[in-house]
Amino acid sequence: MKTIGVLALQGDFAEHIKILESLEVNAVEVRTKNDLDDCSALIIPGGESTVIAKLLFSSGLDKEIKVRVKKGMPVYGTCAGAIIAAKKVAATKGSPEGSEKQFKPLGLIDVEVKRNAYGRQIDSFEAQVKVKGIGEMNCVFIRAPIISKIGRKVEILAKFEGNPVLAKQGNVLVGTFHPETEGKTAVHDFFLKMSSG
């Protein structure tokens, strides 16, 4: 039985574990390189992208994840996870001068992302979005980033107001919304199919 890891350094990892367990999938919290050894795929959850990134680098998990993704390990980054998986993080209006230069994403997928592009927590919202391979679904955007640029090899699976909100390149999936908040399993099911291929 395959084991799906959920990066548990910070953020809403527990919600992803619950979804995976509801799908009768073996799920583990990942905090160390040893934890990652048991995983055939990894979810990077939403949270504080700067905090997660710092903890990734200090633990050495950043290098381990990059190596494993190159070898074919599937990864799904949602919200902050999408920012961390991106190739580049663009400057966002209102962010401290030079903060994007200090932030080093993992470069797992050829996209550029703007952090907190819709505003603060108070500006969070829900929207109906048509997702390729899934259909219409209610998407929750919480301090969501925007995928502002995509590479030629990136497949857009869903858009909202003209911006990609779910995208895939090879074995890497990123989304700017939180499918785990409503207990819906459609995106996780999609990722599990990616992981079993």
Q: What is the pLDDT of residues 175-191, one digit of tens each?
A: 999 988 877 899 999 99
pLDDT at position 96 is 47
In whole angstroms, what is the distance from residue 160 CA to residue 68 CA? 31
111-132 pLDDT, tens digit each: 999 987 666 655 678 999 999 9
Which residues are part of the catalytic machinery?
79, 178, 180
* Rg over CA atoms, the chain: 15
Any idea where the domains of the chain sit in the sequence? 3-196
pLDDT at position 90 is 85
pTM over 0.85: yes
pLDDT at position 97 is 43
Examine the pLDDT at 105 and tell me if it is beyond 90: yes
Q: Under CATH, domain 3-196 is a member of which superfamily?
A: Class I glutamine amidotransferase (GATase) domain (3.40.50.880)
Question: Dihedral of CA 153/158/162/163: which sign?
Answer: negative
In whole angstroms, what is the distance from residue 48 CA to residue 194 CA? 26
